[in-house]
Amino acid sequence: MKLLIATTNPGKLNEIRKFLAGNPIEFVSLKDVGITDSVEETGKTFEENAVLKAKYYCKKSGLPTLADDGGFEIDALNGEPGVKSHRWIDSSKESSDEELIAYTIKRMEHVPEGKRVAQLRLVLALALPDGTLKTAEASVRGIVPMNPTGTHSIGFPFRSLLYIPELGKYYNHEELTDEENVVYNHRRKALEQLKPYIMKYLP
């Protein structure tokens, strides 16, 4: 069975492959099926954008398609950057990881301790050629320290800014153990919700 993973982010692709490993699924990327189109993310919520992408690429490829949308939500900034996470600085283009990290620290510089709660949240959408659509949501909460971690995983800038107090670590691939990466990973939690549908509906 083939499942199209509709993302150009290699980090996301690797995570999905990792957390669905061991199942009889042949993972294919947009590049594998020759799709170079990008979808204008016009939704006002993560769910709307995830569904938009899943349905578009499913129709384009004729394959069951998994897509997601998510971002960083900071309580003290009324949920910003939210759906604008990668276009927070300039709505006309995606900013680099380094730019987003620096901008977040600047926006948070006057926010006192105790009010720096934030979360990474995502919605996964599974679209099938027969019109079936399923979604799942998951998040991981923590705080934004005064400074980011010294290292960051490429393609995941906000993980360098989310500190999980109960672990005493940043939500960062490089700092978490393999077990912690599994237990706390919010993409895995969303995938676990969708896995029964993936296994049931994929031919």
Catalytic pick among 32, 68, 69, 90: 69
Active site (annotated) includes residue 130: no
Q: Which residue, among 79, 72, 130, 66, has the nearest Cα to 97 in the 3D structure?
A: 72
Return the active site residues: 69
